Chain A
Amino acid sequence: MDSYINIKVKVWRQAGPKAQGHFETYELNHIFQGASFLEMMDILNEQLIAEHKDPIAFDHDCREGICGMCSMYVNGHPHGPDSAITTCQLHMRKFKDGETITVEPWRSRAFPVIKDLMVDRGAYDKIMQAGGFVSVNTGGVPDANAIAIPKPVADEAMDAASCIGCGACAAACKNGSAMLFVAAKVSQLALLPQGKIEAAKRAKAMIAKMDELGFGNCTNTGACAAECPKSVSLANIARLNREFICAKFKD
C-alpha cells in the first residue's frame, strides 16, 4: 500500500551555464507515495518559494512520457531507477521512507547545463537537421496497400520511431556517445521504402554532425539501451554501422 514518507532530496544547483555548480540537500516531509516524481519536485519548489528561495529549474512538458523533456538523473539512473519509463512516469513508491534521493542533470559535454537540472539538448536537434528526414514531400496519404511492407519490418521501424529524443542514452553512456539516438532516427527511415533512397546520405550526414558536436565513440557497453525509456534496441546501432560503413566503401 502507498503511504506517506519523509525524504531528503539532494539536488544539483547551478545558477547558469558558466557558474560553478554544487549539491544542496532539502528535507521534504509527508510525501504521498502515489505522487509522481515531478509532483514531488513541484511540492519541493512550492516549499522553496514559501521560504523565499530560488526554485529548482527543471525541464518537463507532457508529463506522460511522450515529449522527452524531463531529463533528470535520479540515484545514478537517467529517468530514475525504474526501467522503460521517463522521469515523469516515475512514482514515489519507488523510494523508501528516510531515503536520500540524488537528482542530477544530464552530464555530457554536448549537453551543457542551462540552469540547475535543465540542459541544452539542442545538439540532438542539430543532428536531426543534418539528415533525419525524407527530402521530398510525400504528398497526400496513399492507399495503405499501395506499398506493401512486411509486418516485422514495419514493427521494427515503429519501435525505432518510438525514440523521443530525451538524451538519456548519451547521458547514461560512459563514452558520452549519442549512437542509440542516431541509430533509432536512421533506422526508422532506412527500414521503410520512402526513407531507403536517402539512407546512405542520411547516415553519413548525421554521423558527421554527431562527431562534430563532440559526442564520444561507441564501445558497445549497452548502457544506453538499458536506460532508454523506450527500450530502443542495440540492433539499431548495428544497422547504423552497416549503413555508414557500406556508404563509405561505396564512395
Chain B
Amino acid sequence: MWLKDSSIGRKLVMSITGLCLVFFLLFHGCMNVALVFSEEAYNWICSILGANWYAIVGTLGLAFLIFVHFCYAFYLTIQNLRARGNDRYAVTARQQGVDWESKNMLVLGICVIGFLVLHLANFWFKMQFAELTGIETSAFDPQDGAGLVKFMFAGNGAWSIVLCVLYLIWLAALWLHLNHGIWSALQTLGWSNLIWLKRIKVIGTIFASLVVAPFAVVVFYYLGMGIGMLLA
C-alpha cells in the first residue's frame, strides 16, 4: 500500500490528517468565541452538538484522525532518525530560512497531545461524555457548558490562573506546529511552485494565527476576569 510504503505516501497521510484537524480547530475556535459575547449563545451551540449522532460521529472521526496522525508521526520520525545513521555531526549550524519548529514537529506535536488529554479531562469528560452516559462527572449540568468554562478558567481562584497559563503554553506550541505544518502540508500535496512557495509560507502563518487567535481571545478574556475576581 503506497500510503504506508512510500515516503511521499506517508507524507500525504500526515498532511491530509493534519489539514482536517486544522479545519476542525478553526470551527471549534469560532464556536468558543461565542463565550465572550454571550453565554446563552454558547450553551445553545453546545445543545445543538451535545450528544447528537452527528456530534458523536464527528468525535469518533477526530479521534481516528489524531490516532493516524500520531502513529504516522512516530513512524516517520523513527525512520528519519535511522536514515541519519549512527554517527552524528560534531558541529551543526543553523541555516538561514530554516525554522526551528520545522525540525521539532514531533516534540511540538507531543506537547499538543499532552495538553489535549488535560483538555478532554477538563471539558469533554464533563460535557459530551457526561451527557452520553448520564453519569454525573462534575457539579455542573452538562448543558451548562458556559458555566463550567467560567468556573474552570476564572472562578477557581489561583488554579484558574494556572490553567489559563497552561492553555496559553499549549496554544503557543500549537501555533508553532501549525506555522510549519500548514505550508508543509500544501508543499506535500504539490500545491507550490517558484512563485507560490513564498506565498504558501505566508498563508501558513496567517492560517496558524487564525486558528489559534479565537482560543487565545477566550483564554485572555477569562484570565482578565479571573484576576479581577482574585483581586476583588
Contacts and interface: CB of A to CB of B under 8 A. Distances in A.
Interface in A29-85: 73, 75-77, 81, 83
A238 B102 contact: no
Given A174-B103, A177-B7, A108 B187 contact: no
A226 B11 CA distance: 21
Contact of B197 (A176, A227, A233, A248): A233
A98 interface: no
A8 to B, nearest CB: 13
A183 B180 CA distance: 21
Nearest to B195: A235
B228 interface: no
Contacts of A211: 5-7
Given A102-B90, A241-B189, A248 B84 contact: no
Contacts of A194: none
A97 interface: no
B133 interface: no
A244 B8 contact: yes
Contact of A221 (B6, B8, B96, B103): B103
A217 interface: yes
A248 B40 CA distance: 50
B197 A238 contact: yes
A234 interface: yes
Contacts of B191: 238
A107 interface: yes
A235 B87 contact: no
Contacts of A227: 95
A110 interface: yes
A200 interface: no
Interface stretch (B27-35, B63-71, B75-83, B136-144): B75-83
Contact of A220 (B82, B85, B184, B193): B184
Contacts of A215: 7, 83
Contacts of B232: none
A107 B87 contact: yes
A109 B11 contact: no
Contacts of B93: 75-77, 81
A108 B85 contact: yes
A217 to B, nearest CB: 4
B6 A207 contact: yes
A223 B80 contact: no
A220 B102 contact: yes
Interface string B20-60: 00000000000000000000000000000000000000000
A201 interface: no
Nearest to B180: A220
A208 interface: yes
A210 B187 contact: no
Closest 5 CB pairs of A and B: A242-B190, A76-B93, A176-B83, A216-B83, A238-B192
Interface of A: 10, 21, 23, 73, 75-77, 81, 83, 102, 104, 107-111, 156, 172, 174-177, 179, 207-208, 210-211, 214-223, 226-227, 233-235, 237-246, 248
23 contacts: A73-B91, A76-B89, A77-B95, A108-B84, A108-B85, A109-B82, A109-B84, A174-B103, A176-B80, A176-B83, A176-B85, A179-B7, A215-B7, A216-B7, A217-B7, A223-B95, A226-B95, A233-B197, A234-B187, A235-B197, A240-B8, A245-B190, A248-B9
Interface of B: 2, 5-12, 76, 79-80, 82-93, 95-99, 102-103, 105, 180, 183-184, 187-194, 196-197
